[in-house]
Amino acid sequence: MKNIAVIGAGTMGNGIAHTFAQSGFKVQLIDVSEEALNKGLQTIAKNLDRMVAKEKITEQQKTDTLNNITPFTNIKEGVDFAALVLEAATENLDLKLKIFKELDDACSESAILATNTSSISITQIAAATSKPERVIGMHFMNPVPIMKLVEIIRGYNTSNEVTNTIMELSKTLGKIPVEVNDYPGFVANRILMPMINESIETLYNGVAGVEEIDTVMKLGMAHPMGPLQLADFIGLDVCLSILNVMYDGFKNPKYAPCPLLVNMVRAGKLGVKSGEGFYDYSESRKAEKVSRQFSK
């Protein structure tokens, strides 16, 4: 299994492609948008430059990693000869079902089809194919090249052979795979998202401000990042989508997204990706921080 196809060149997709390519795999990075592909490749190159600067890898390893990645805008061409196809598109059920129906026709009979979904049912995605036993979840954490955990989610029909293969493959990437069962949110987001949602409720109810809530969780609970800042980095739209999947799946009001989160997403305040969420990430804000540092 040396030929890997990754669908989606966004944050997760380019991180997954980077990780496989750095481990010596040949990676076909696929996205319908050429602009997204170019941006994804630039992100990989920048991240590799940082690793070179920190002396974690050599210039030759950087070059080899980039040479291991080939971009494609056509799924059928990109998945040719791929032993594993890993979908990392937007967290949208209809889109994922469409992609997996296409993969079912385009891929070889022996190919393993994986999804990086962080909350959507693997069993439901697998049902869009004629080979549900060869469909599995590989939920990487962001940033992919750094974070060690991979949630391995087997659907109702996922075979033991496929599960064992993906568990071992994850270890060759230097990751620590953890097998979990197929329920909404799996383990990571079933625990994380209610905490983030409760933090937003705490802000919404006026108990404390953004920085105060994050400071309590960082200093009091030893979290490296406060839950509101973490939500900004994940993307508030992604948080909302995951909470909706969990609320629909369990029909339990404790998973219902906070009205403040819903309104912020409607207003386009999505966190880092939009320049503003619970914190301000705009260029003017960055310039203000730099100015303050120089005035000290």
Please identify every residue annotated as catalytic: 118, 139, 151, 189
Is 5 in contact with 79 (CB distance < 8 Å)?
Answer: yes
Query: Which candidate, 221, 241, 218, 219, places its Cα nearest to that of 230?
Result: 218
Hey, what amino acid is at 68?
N
Hey, what amino acid is at 226?
G
Cβ contacts of residue 60 below 8 Å, gap of 6+?
none
Number of H helices, E strands in the chain: 14, 8
* Peptide bond preceding 253 in cis form (omega within 30 of 0): no
Cβ contacts of residue 57 below 8 Å, gap of 6+?
22, 48, 51, 65
26-30 and 69-72 beta bridge pairing: parallel
